[in-house]
Amino acid sequence: MTILVTGGAGYIGSHAVRQLRAEGRDVVVLDSLERGDRDALLGAPFVQGDISDSSLVAEVCREHGVDSVIHFAAYKSVGESMTDPAKYWRNNVQGTVDLLEGMLAADVRRIVFSSSAAVYGNPDSLPIREDAPLRTENVYAETKAVMERVIHWYGQTHGVRWASLRYFNAAGASSDGVLGENWDMSTNLLPLVMKAALGASGPVKVFGDDYPTPDGTGVRDYIHVEDLAIAHSKAIEHLDAGRESITLNLGTGRGVSVMEIIRATENTLGRAVPYQVVDRRLGDPATVYADSRLANSVLDWRAKKGLLEIVDSLIRRYNEHREQHESTES
């Protein structure tokens, strides 16, 4: 039976699609390509369209024999969500309702949802467990929390079974450099460090070095995108086996600081990464990292890659991309 992957032309979605196909699963991708990259599909069956079109969702599910959905399609910029909130409420929340209605019309009742550790905001205690209070501090994070609740209630009212996966900081690229995120669109730390390291931008700005952390800079739980992809396949298996709906943290359980990332990049590249310490970014917690023991046990999954694999994969991605770029330019 086939898995419908919404947003499968995006950063994490495209890695999940590749992983599922490598395991011999049938997939079909629904993506508007508004922010996705058609090349990232690597030939996967694809329908261009929007999750808000419930009749299209139902038609795709029927035509492809879909029995479960992995839902990645959403806007994810914290800054944009605060300047244009309506866009986020409509696309992320209403879009999820429309997707679910399309699924029900085709009698599809299993969904793995791409949630985020952003729902925890600034945590009271560490590591963060799934029963920690939700403390959303921006519209993007709030839409993820609301999407979780919408899916939960479709479970209560329509028998949908679900797995909501709260990612900590997704990072890295495919180990062979073939897939990766669009560095021009990302405001996340790793792409910005890589651009500064490779001379594609000015110095990376370090948002504060006066936090109560070992070296004063912000600490996060960076999880390799290929580890995330495997977790999604395991979550589909969990639902296929008829097991309970569940919310799971996906992280490594280890915190890494901004300076540790800069130093690891310098050591790998053998050159200095230009950086400049500036004021803290409003709303940034000092330290965030996951308690992922529930995912470890329920999914029989654990993150296998660490910071060095993340940095190595990004450098390989850049080199692959540059050769392609130069070959198209020449």
Contact residues: ligand WQD, CB under 6 A: 76, 78, 116, 118, 167, 169, 187-189, 192, 204-207, 218, 220, 258, 281, 284
Task: Say how far apart CA 142 and CA 164 lie, in whole Å.
Answer: 15
Please state the closest distance from residue 284 (CB atom) to ligand WQD, in A.
Answer: 4
Q: Which residue is nearest to ligand WQD (CB)?
A: 218
Beta strand pairing call for 26-31 and 161-167: unpaired
Catalytic member of 140, 211, 289, 318: 140
Active site residue 275: no
* Residue 141 phi, psi (nearest 5): -60, -40
The rounded distance, in Å, linking the Cα atoms of 167 and 92 is 17
Distance CA 58, CA 60 (A): 6
Least Cβ distance, residue 218 to ligand WQD (angstroms):
2
To ligand WQD, the closest distance from the beta carbon of 11 in angstroms equals: 10
In the bound state with ligand WQD, the residue whose beta carbon lies nearer, of 55 and 187, is: 187
Query: Three-state DSSP class for 151?
Result: helix
Cβ proximity to ligand WQD: between 83 and 330 the closer is 83
Please identify which residue in the block is written with the tokens 């999750």.
51
- Name the minimum Å distance from CB 222 to ligand WQD: 8
- H helices of the chain, in order, are 11-22, 54-64, 78-83, 85-88, 95-105, 139-158, 189-197, 225-240, 258-269, 293-298, 307-329
Q: Which two tokens stand for residue 87?
A: 């866009």
Q: Which is nearer to ligand WQD, 89 or 207 (CB)?
A: 207
Which residue number, 18 or 76, has a Cβ lying nearer to ligand WQD?
A: 76
Cβ closest to ligand WQD, residue 168 vs residue 318 = 168
Under 8 Å between Cβ of 255 and 222? no
- Give least dist CB 64 to ligand WQD, A: 28
- Which residues are part of the catalytic machinery? 140
